[in-house]
Amino acid sequence: MKYHVWTEGCQMNVADSQRVGSALEHLGYQQTDAAEEADVIVMNTCVVRQSAEDKAAGRLTSFQPLKKKNPNLVINLMGCMVGVRGAEKLKKRFPFVDVFSPPSDPGPLIAYLTQGEVRSLEDAETTRRFLAMDDELILPVAERGKLVMAHIPVVYGCSHACTYCIIPYRRGIERSRPVGDIVAEARSLAAQGVKEITLLGQIVDRYGTDIPDGPNLAGLLRILNDVDGLERIRFLTSHPNYFGEDLMEAVAALPKVMPHIEVPIQAGDDTVLENMRRGYTREDYYRLVEKIRAKIPGCSIATDIIVGFPGETEEQFNQTYQTLADLRLDVAHLARYSPREGTVSARRMPDDVSAEEKMRRFRLLEELQEQIVAEINARYLGETVEVLFEEKVKNRWKGRTPTNKLVFVESESDLRGKMLPVSVTWTGPWSMQANLLQAVTLPTL
């Protein structure tokens, strides 16, 4: 019996897919890259922008002939396309799908495979609990002992309701996971060879606010910093209103917590920010960046920006451009506004910036950012940095610095999972090259 998983979207989906794969292996299934030979196909979907939704729908339709050929094939649609509110519309649109699962929940699929049907939501919940009790059930076999970096969801859902964002509708309200579950998962991942974990949440710094007697994110980081075998800890995504000083101090003080913060600004104009209902001003964000840099020396900062939000004028866009030019951040994830059904902006604000104009603004920011990052990275030239190596890509080992910069090193040795000092010999906007500093006595591949 074989299973095939297709994953799209954020790191949360990647983490969810690993857990589904692992659960299926527990039932005796083996992973395959070929959808045609699978007995179970899991499609883990994203709908954050129209393009992602179209891709998922296209892919799903391409599986229909497989179902005709093999009526026993089980197709499971999972993730944000399904959401937490039931799948009646989707059932009509995709009648060949056997099981619909909300994000982060392998339960319905496992209940279907073990009991032949999903009788009630409790069934799914019971199955999920049962699975969560087994420590091994985190990484699929193919990744055990090989995967260097893994993600751990710590906050599910989101209750913030930015006007453009569909995530709260599809992932439900904000729920923090109990600290015990997270630590058990971190230990299990470390035992399976993982060296770096990234804690995930839509607003990860709100971790624990819904659990009165539990730790906050800073407290959780302190606990995880003591897990043997783990070398590095990261977390994302932060929100400017919740990334507080205690968290900055924890990042600065804890040796395993890396100096890299993902904190989206989304726009650099106050009116646009207000229309997005982000809850802060451009000035607030400037002060935040200043504080992060003062409290966490050498910290790299990544941001997200949406161009072409409804009503965004040329002048307002220029404010965003200027913001990016002023702040000189390490990464800017850029997106063109995409109206999502049911969100406040899609219901109340006309999508009035043309596709061409969105593209023009996108390109302008892209060019600016490329230049900034090239300059930031050039400062690494000749420096010694500690790199955690992940995998060999062609003839070079790929790894990351504490600040999350991509580094390539030529070596015949097996560097997977090793943390080694390197000397940077070349830098570009998207990656660097380096040499190992010390002669490494490691087995060759």
Q: Which of 87, 251, 335, 424 binds ligand SAH (CB under 6 A)?
A: 335
Whose tokens are 């944000």? That residue is 80
User: Nearest approach, Cβ of 242 to ligand SAH (angstroms)?
Assistant: 10
The reply on whether position 323 binds ligand SAH by CB under 6 A is no
**φ, ψ at 30 (rounded to 5°):** -120, 145
What does residue 108 show for φ and ψ, rounded to 5 degrees? -55, -40
Q: Is the Cβ of residue 53 or residue 196 nearer to ligand SAH in the bound state? A: 53
Residue type present at position 332: A
Give the shortest CB-309-to-ligand SAH separation in angstroms.
8
CA–CA gap between residue 325 and residue 374 (Å, rounded):
13
Question: In the bound complex, what is the minimum distance in angstroms from residue 349's beta carbon to ligand SAH?
Answer: 11
> Nearer Cβ to ligand SAH, position 309 or 408?
309
Backbone angles phi, psi at 421, to 5 degrees: -75, 140
Between 239 and 282, whose beta carbon lies closer to ligand SAH?
239
Q: Looking only at residues 94 through 123 of this chain, which bind ligand SAH when binding is defined by CB under 6 A? A: none
Q: Which residues pair with 198 in a beta bridge?
A: 151, 234
Decide: is 156 part of the binding site for ligand SAH (CB under 6 A): no
Please, what's the b/e burial string for 323-342 (b: 16 or more CB within 10 A of its CB; e: otherwise)?
bbeebebbbbebbbbbbbee
- Please count the residues of this chain forming the interface with ligand SAH, following the rule CB under 6 A: 16
Does 340 bind ligand SAH (CB under 6 A)? Our answer is: yes
Tokens representing 162 are: 């930015």
Two structure tokens written together for 379: 């400062």
Using the minimum distance from each CB to ligand SAH, give the nearer residue, 165 or 250.
165
Whether the Cβ atoms of residue 412 and residue 444 lie closer than 8 Å to each other = yes
Residue 266 near ligand SAH by CB under 6 A: yes
Which is closer to ligand SAH, CB of 51 or CB of 371? 51
Residue 425 contacts residue 435 (beta carbons within 8 Å)? yes
358 touches 307 (CB < 8 A): yes
Q: Which of 46, 47, 48, 250 binds ligand SAH (CB under 6 A)?
A: 48
Is 292 buried (19+), middle (13-18) or exposed (0-12) by CB count in 10 A?
buried
Q: Report, in Å, the least distance between residue 316 CB and ligand SAH.
A: 16
Binding-site member from 164, 243, 317, 380 for ligand SAH (CB under 6 A): 164
Instruction: Give me the helices (H) in 277-313, please.
Output: 282-295
Binding to ligand SAH by residue 261, rule CB under 6 A? no
Q: Does 165 bind ligand SAH (CB under 6 A)?
A: yes
Checking phi first, is residue 424 left (phi over 0); if not, alpha (psi -120 to 50) or beta? beta
Is residue 243 within the footprint of ligand SAH (CB under 6 A)?
no
Site string for ligand SAH, 178-217 (x = CB under 6 A): ------------------------x---------------
Contacts to ligand SAH by CB under 6 A: 48-49, 164-165, 167, 202, 237, 239, 264, 266, 304, 306, 335, 337-338, 340
